[in-house]
A and B are shown apart, each in its own frame.
Chain A
Amino acid sequence: MPKLKSLEDLKRVREEAQQGLKVRVETGTRIIVGMGTCGIAAGARDVMRAILEELDKRKIEAHVETVGCIGMCVREPLVDIEQAGRPRVTYGNVRPDMVPRLIEEHLINGRVVDEWVVGRLGG
């Protein structure tokens, strides 16, 4: 039987995480998932889970955050991707099966997936 995770184990994770923490905070990518009632009912939690799984699979160290409702409920689940020096892009009606392409195109190839965009901010 594999050893269960413990807080002792978390200390080791902390030491690993401390290396390179600064680099990521300064140049990092942020992915923000709307998690109001509207988002949750539309499947936002499972979109978040798909994003976390895809990032882990591809070893991409992006920050993922959840926020409340921003008022565009009809387009939920909403996912914003923000990268230093580029406009913040909002994707709407995101489903878990869209996540691999979103990560591949936007984060890896640096190309916005225009057909899924519902808004842009700044840049």
Chain B
Amino acid sequence: MRELALHILDCLENAVEAGATRIALTIEEDTARDLLTITVEDNGRGMPPELAERVLDPFVTTRTTRHVGLGLPLFAAAAERTGGRVTVHSVPGQGTVVQATFGLTHWDRAPLGDLPATLLAVLLAQQPVELVYRHRVDGREFVCDTAELRAVLGEVPLSHPRVREWLREYLSEGIAGLERPYP
């Protein structure tokens, strides 16, 4: 996966698969500390500590149809290449927090990529989920909270063709407004 947005999508999909009804995605770009932090926090079913410690191992998966799970190990490799790391904290019955750190301007850091498409893929999930997306670049911040959007929309779903078109533009504009000086 060549974009961090694809790894982020994978984490968000994991949360959906874990039965989360609420997911918080926070992306923080701190130029002073040269640090990019991506945090995905969900209220899904969580994992026992012994599993949470091992999910970065490619030969560990919750799936029963096969014995490898590559999503998180790939994310961890992308972080480690830039001097960062991925940590997983989970409490059974309460949820999971996956946090990845990256050297913001490190030569090997993959670009964030197409975040609006990633967010849209989750907003269109068959199993509806509330998503709070918070993106900070130094002092600037863009927040998109689906609970707020749904309050405005009433019975019109986020997946409505008109709404998803609006969403894509809303997210693109919001992210562009952060004026990130790098990809």
Interface of A is mostly: helix
Q: Provided the pairs A10-B166, A17-B160, A17-B162 are in contact, do residues A48 and B120 lie with their beta carbons within 8 angstroms?
A: yes
- Choose among B71, B162, B166 the residue with the greatest number of A CB atoms under 10 Å from its CB: B162
Interfacial residues of chain B within 121-165, with CB under 8 A of chain A in the complex: 121-122, 124-126, 148-149, 152-156, 159-165
The answer to whether B114 has its CB under 8 Å from any CB of chain A is yes
A5 touches B161 (CB 8 A): no
Residues 53-72 of chain B: 1 if any A CB is under 8 Å from the residue's CB, otherwise 0? 00000000000010001110
Do A13 and B13 touch (CB < 8 A)? no
Pick the interface stretch among A49-57, A99-107, A112-120.
A49-57
Q: Secondary structure at chain B's binding surface: helix, strand, loop or mixed?
A: helix
Is residue A21 contacting chain B, with contact meaning CB distance below 8 A? yes
Q: Is A27 an interface residue (CB 8 A)?
A: no
Are B160 and A7 interface neighbours, CB within 8 A? no
Q: Are A13 and B162 in contact (CB under 8 A)?
A: yes
Q: Tell me whether A65 and B124 are in contact in the complex, defined as CB-CB below 8 angstroms, given that A17-B156, A45-B118 are known contacts.
A: yes
Known: A63-B161, A66-B124, A66-B125. 11 other contacts (CB 8 A): A7-B152, A11-B152, A14-B163, A17-B162, A21-B160, A41-B1, A45-B5, A52-B168, A55-B161, A61-B161, A65-B124
Which residue on chain B has the smallest CB distance to residue A73? B66
Q: Using Cβ atoms and an 8 Å threshold, which residues of chain A touch B166?
A: 5, 9-10, 13
The contact size tier of chain A is 35 or more
Chain B interface size band reads: 35 or more
Closest residue on chain B to residue A38 by CB atoms: B70
15 contacts between A and B (CB under 8 A): A7-B152, A17-B156, A17-B162, A21-B156, A45-B9, A45-B117, A46-B117, A48-B121, A64-B124, A64-B159, A64-B164, A65-B125, A65-B159, A67-B126, A68-B13
